[in-house]
Chain A
Amino acid sequence: MIPEIGNFSLIIALSVALFLATVPLYGAQKNNLQLMQFSRYAVVAQFVFILIAFIALVYSFTADDFSVKYIASNSNSALPMIYKISAVWGAHEGSFLLWLLILSCWTLAVAYFSKSLPITMTSRVLSVMGMLSIGFLLFIIFTSNPFERLFPAPMDGRDLNPLLQDPGLAIHPPMLYMGYVGFSVVFSITIAGLISGQLDSAWARWSRPWTVIAWMFLTLGIALGSWWAYYELGWGGWWFWDPVENASFMPWLIGTALIHSLVVTEKRGAFKSWTVLLALIAFSLSLLGTFLVRSGVLVSVHAFASDPTRGSFILAFLVLVIGGSLMLYAIRGSSMSGGGHFNLFSKDTFMLLGNILLSVACAMVLLGTLYPLLDQMIDLGKLSVGKPYFNAVFVPIMLPALVIMSMAPLMRWKSDSFGRVFKQMLIPLAIALSIGIALFFMEKGSIMIAISVGLAALIFSSVVMSIINRVKNKGALGTALKKIPLSFYGMNLAHIGVAVFIVGVTFTESMSLQKDLRMETGDTISLGGYSFTFEGAESRQGPNYIAYEGAVSIINSEGDAIGTMTPQKRVYQVRGMPMTEAGIDAGLFRDLFVALAEQLDNGAWSLRIYYKPFIRWIWLGCILMALGGFLAILDKRYRLRVAQ
């Protein structure tokens, strides 16, 4: 009964979405106020029915209704309650329903927070979002319906993949989707602007907060995924350049470029068509990412072909959205005027260069991600593109981007002189150089460490420099600091986040120590100044798994006991699937990581032990970036007041 209610609500939501996509758009064209006002009611109705469907699915999961096919394959009566709920978005069908729910939330937010905007604009934006919603509703109802029944109903479900039974992964997909779908707002605003031909600085100002919020969620979502991979999956790695990861990283790169080019478009009226293009691409890549990950295309083209209706629907939808928006861009793009002029040496130029570097980096990631797929389609033989490619391509593109990032905030719009900027950069450069040189001659130092940490120092000190410039000669420090707009703090905090991230990546990648070895009870080994003693392993019963739990006690170089880590080797009973749960002792400057690998003869185990310096800085950097975005949207200047 409940699943049928869910299914029925989806169908009602589809009919509401059909009205939403057409009526307000027509109203805006004919300037009919009533038709335009209809959009707000439609948005609320659509949200309510999608929410009902989502709750119906959550309820059926918690009630163990295994007559629903999706629940039977992704849940089990022994599954802890929190994972029964997170199992809702644990696989293809449910994750698309979550996507749809989040899309309708964003649509609601746009309708609610845009009361001060011209109603023709709002109606067009909401209509475009309605069109996206139609696409997803059709996809869910006809090809991936989570409410499909199974006859006869099995006694129990096949369980959620044990990898996904983890708190980090319960919140990772919703965060990521908030980011992906968030880009649909700036996409829709841009499409609405292209339709009306109204792409001015008001359009840019209005897009900015939405873009920043989406980017903030995406940043957190990616960081959560990386953290999860570190402790659950990766045997201590934090990024694998896996297609699934790349799919989320590409919209992030373009989203970052978009945030910056929106600034230029708002402040200077320049780069309009470039900004429009980025707005369209950011969302297109989000769509591509969702589909690539969830349809299994990336594992193999054969998986794609295994469900032809799903595959061709996805392809048709992608072609329609990407092709349609680019077509509109091609028709309308020429009417966009050029905007302000600027000199070669100016903030404008540097913002453009930064943008281009980010876009090229994204293109390179796209190439590496899709190349095996293209290759398989024309059947040249099977191949894969590994981590070395991405590192070889990505790092050299990012290094100049970091230099630009440290200089651009200190530069002036329109025209600046090299001498003035150089004078500003003098102290940061001196700091960066001395840190770089010191690191180069440090034990185990290298040119790569010197360059990247030096660049991080350059970014950090130029941020400090630009704040000093802002308060210099402005009277008392406290009041001067208060006068600086929040968005300026936001930007600088995000840039510091990048610097922190770089330090984390550099030290983790270059200074980590690792040992795989066989240990008997009582064996001791030292690594990175710590000594690890294996105290043996015993079996333990979990809610839906049995485990061997090892005990490894750690003593630091001063001889103080740090504690005992308890890595586990679990076997989840329903699927009979083994899982490794690492024992981690986390710290700001180093992580100690112990994993049980395999049970050997007479009580001995093979173990993997890591010493990972500065790895927490990677995620700390991401959190700082997201916080920076948060500060920026709190800025009064971006409250959505445009209409006056």
Chain B
Amino acid sequence: MNPKRKNRLILVLLILAGVGAAVTLGLKALDQNLLYFFSPTQVKAGEAPIGHSFRLGGLVQKGSVVREKDGLTIHFDVTDGAETIAVTYTGILPDLFREGQGIVATGKIDGSTKAGKMHFIADEVLAKHDENYMPPQVQEALDKAHENGKKKLAENAAEAATSQSMPGGNAQ
């Protein structure tokens, strides 16, 4: 191999190694830093990881906001219409945080509490800067919960209907 070719080969190999290392690093970092979004219904169903950060989205339940004496620690409930999760946050809330407003909170489920009474510790609360804006994931979660609620109602109604029609069937 002549020296010119050899030089070029070394250069190409170096570049490939460097780019390869960067891509590996990148994918690894991506894998570790993805934040998944869950609705309260999903969290209650146990789909959210315990002890890992994720994003919780929904509406701030009306009348649930309680502020502690220090003025900075705040407790509130996040709901998607079907289920609610209690959230605690210490710090300054975004300007558009209000009861009834859609929010997305990033944080972890507090592992120390007993199952059934889930408690979410938020390190960040986001409320978008537009009074009409609903985070799309929150909107979807709300729609889903609403639909499920309807389905449940319909099922209940159908069950009720069949149980009512039973005696009639017997009578025949």
Name A's B-contacting residues (CB within 8 A): 161, 163, 233, 235, 299-300, 302-303, 341, 343-344, 349, 352-353, 356-357, 360, 364, 367-368, 371, 381-386, 388-389, 392-393, 396-397, 516-518, 575-580, 595, 597-598, 600, 604, 606, 608
Contact = CB atoms under 8 A, between A and B. Distances in A.
Contact of B96 (A360, A364, A578): A578
A597 to B, nearest CB: 4
Nearest to B18: A356
Interface in B118-172: 129-131, 136-137, 140
Contacts of A163: 129
Contact of A384 (B37, B95, B140): B37
Nearest to A384: B35
Contacts of B129: 161, 163, 233, 577
B70 A368 contact: no
A608 B72 CA distance: 11
B111 to A, nearest CB: 21
For the complex of A and B, the 4 pairs showing the least CB-CB separation, nearest first, are: A518-B71, A300-B136, A389-B33, A382-B37
Given A364-B22, A396-B25, A518-B71, A606 B30 contact: no
Contacts of A349: 11
Contact of B36 (A300, A303, A352, A383): A383
Given A360-B18, A393-B29, A577-B96, 18 more contacts: A302-B136, A343-B7, A352-B11, A352-B15, A356-B15, A367-B26, A382-B137, A386-B33, A388-B32, A392-B25, A392-B29, A518-B70, A577-B129, A577-B130, A579-B95, A600-B67, A606-B71, A606-B92
B25 A393 contact: yes
Contacts of A364: 22, 26
Contacts of B11: 344, 349, 352
B22 to A, nearest CB: 5
B29 A600 contact: no
B168 to A, nearest CB: 45
A385 B33 contact: yes
A598 B125 CA distance: 15
Contacts of A341: 4
A360 B15 CA distance: 11
Interface string B89-100: 001110110000
A223 B11 CA distance: 35
Contact of B7 (A303, A344, A396, A600): A344
Nearest to B136: A300
Contacts of A368: 30
Contacts of A371: 30
B78 to A, nearest CB: 16
A385 B106 CA distance: 12
A330 to B, nearest CB: 20
For chain B, the bracket of interface size reads 35 or more
A132 B71 CA distance: 55
Interface string B13-40: 0010011001101100110111111000
Contact of A360 (B19, B32, B37, B131): B19
Contact of B26 (A300, A356, A388, A393): A393
Q: Give the one of B11, B29, B30 with max A CB within 10 A.
A: B29
B75 interface: no
B29 A389 contact: yes
A341 B71 CA distance: 69
B115 interface: no
Given A360-B19, A577-B131, A381 B36 contact: yes
Contacts of A579: 95
B44 interface: no
B93 A303 contact: no
A396 B131 CA distance: 40
Given A392-B29, A393-B25, A383 B35 contact: yes
A388 B35 CA distance: 11
17 contacts: A161-B129, A360-B23, A368-B30, A371-B30, A383-B34, A383-B35, A383-B36, A384-B34, A384-B35, A385-B30, A386-B35, A389-B33, A393-B26, A517-B70, A577-B129, A600-B67, A600-B71
Contact of A356 (B19, B29, B55, B131): B19
Contacts of A300: 136-137
Nearest to B19: A360
A120 to B, nearest CB: 35
Contacts of B67: 600
Contacts of B136: 299-300, 302-303
A144 B126 CA distance: 30
B71 A576 contact: no
Contacts of A302: 136, 140
B137 A385 contact: no
Contact of A235 (B18, B30, B92): B92
Contacts of B131: 575-577
A510 B147 CA distance: 48
Nearest to A342: B7
B66 to A, nearest CB: 13
Nearest to B69: A518
B10 interface: yes
Given A385-B33, A389-B30, A393-B29, A597 B92 contact: yes
A353 B35 CA distance: 33
Contacts of B25: 392-393, 396
A516 B26 contact: no
Contact of A388 (B33, B71, B93, B140): B33
Nearest to A604: B71
A161 B128 CA distance: 12
B91 A580 contact: no
Nearest to A296: B136
Contacts of B26: 364, 367, 393
Contacts of A383: 34-37
Nearest to A392: B29
Contacts of A606: 71-72, 92
B37 A598 contact: no
Nearest to A360: B22
Interface string B53-73: 001000000000001001110
Nearest to B34: A383
A360 B137 CA distance: 31
Nearest to A382: B37
A119 B11 CA distance: 40
A392 B22 contact: no
